[in-house]
Amino acid sequence: MKFTLLLAAASIALAAPGTKLRARDTSPLVPRSARRAKYSSHPNQRLVSLDSTTDKNDQYSGNWAGAVQIGSGYNKVKGTITVPEVSGASGAAASAWVGIDGDTCQTAILQTGISFYADGSFDAWYEWIPDYAYSFSNFDVSVGDQIYMEVDASSKTKGVAILQNLSTGQKVTHSFTNTPSTLCETNAEWIVEAFQEGGSQVDLANFGTVTFTGASASGSRGTTGPSGAQIIDISPDGGNTVQAVGSITSNSVTVKYVGN
Phi, psi of 85 (to 5 degrees): -85, 130
Region 193-214: mean pLDDT is 95
Query: What distance in Å separates the CA atoms of residue 13 and residue 32, rounded to the nearest whole number?
Result: 28
Query: What distance in Å separates the CA atoms of residue 148 and residue 173, rounded to the nearest whole number?
Result: 12
Provide the annotated active-site residues.
193
User: pLDDT tens digit string along 151-173?
Assistant: 999 999 999 999 999 999 999 99
Q: What is the homologous superfamily of the domain 2-43+66-229 according to CATH?
A: Peptidase G1 (2.60.120.700)
**CB distance 244 to 202 below 8 Å:** no
Nearest one of 79, 82, 81, 83 to 27, comparing CA atoms: 83
Q: Which long-range contacts (CB under 8 A, 24 or more apart) does 178-181 make?
A: 179/128, 180/13, 180/15, 180/128, 180/129, 180/130, 180/131, 181/12, 181/107, 181/108, 181/128, 181/129, 181/130
Give me the residues paired with residue 257 across strands.
244
Nearest one of 127, 134, 178, 131 to 151, comparing CA atoms: 127
pTM of the model: 0.83
Q: What is the residue extent of each domain of the chain?
A: 2-43+66-229
Nearest one of 243, 219, 215 to 229, comparing CA atoms: 215
Q: How confident is the model at residue 92 (pLDDT cuts 50, 70, 90)?
A: very high
Query: What distance in Å separates the CA atoms of residue 15 and residue 108, rounded to the nearest whole number?
Result: 13
User: pLDDT tens digit string along 102-143?
Assistant: 999 999 999 999 999 999 999 999 999 999 999 999 999 999
Amino acid letter, residue 236: P
Give me the residues paired with residue 159 across strands.
153, 176
Question: Could you give the dihedral angle defined by the CA atoms of residues 238, 239, 244 and 247, in that order, rounded to the nearest 10 degrees?
Answer: 110
Region 165-183: mean pLDDT is 98
Question: Could you give the dihedral angle defined by the CA atoms of residues 232, 237, 240 and 244, in that order, rounded to the nearest 10 degrees?
Answer: -40
Mean pLDDT for the chain overall: 83
Nearest one of 118, 130, 156, 188 to 10, comparing CA atoms: 130
